[in-house]
């Protein structure tokens, strides 16, 4: 299943990824934001389960912001898991 979600409170505008019935995540991509850093986050998440990504990324903050792009990814994955 392909998930696309608008981000809130961060520089990147949105995040998208594929998630299968075993919760494996592939093809993570962000629109906008810090290009190199977000490509790195996407590459590191490739093949991980949504639960593992959530446990590693949830609650990360970016500077003075209350969230971050990895945190927004974790939130999107929590939403995706609730739909599966």
Residue 80 and residue 84: Cα distance in Å, rounded? 7
DSSP assignment of the chain equals: -EEEEE--SSSEEEEEEEE-TT-BEEEEEEEES-HHHHHHHHHHHTT-BHHHHHHHHTT---TTSS--HHHHHHHHHHHHHHH-
Whole-number average pLDDT of the chain: 97
- All structural domains of the chain, each given as residue ranges with its CATH number in brackets, are 2-83 (3.90.1010)
The pLDDT assigned to 29 comes to: 98
pLDDT band at 60 (very low <50, low <70, confident <90, very high): very high
The pLDDT assigned to 81 comes to: 96
The pLDDT assigned to 27 comes to: 98
Contact (Cβ atoms closer than 8 angstroms) between residue 15 and residue 7: yes
- Percent of the chain at pLDDT > 70 equals 100
Residue 84, pLDDT > 90, answer no
First to last CA, the chain: 9
The pLDDT assigned to 5 comes to: 97
Mean pLDDT, range 34-44, rounded to an integer? 97
The pLDDT assigned to 45 comes to: 97
């Amino acid at each position: 299943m392909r998930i696309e979600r608008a981000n809130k409170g961060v520089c990147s505008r949105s995040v998208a990824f594929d998630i299968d019935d075993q919760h494996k995540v592939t093809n993570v991509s962000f629109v906008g934001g810090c290009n190199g850093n977000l490509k790195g986050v996407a590459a590191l998440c490739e093949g991980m389960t949504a639960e593992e990504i959530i446990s590693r990324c949830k609650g990360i903050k970016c500077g003075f912001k209350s969230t971050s792009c990895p945190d927004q990814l974790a939130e999107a994955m929590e939403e995706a898991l609730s739909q599966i």
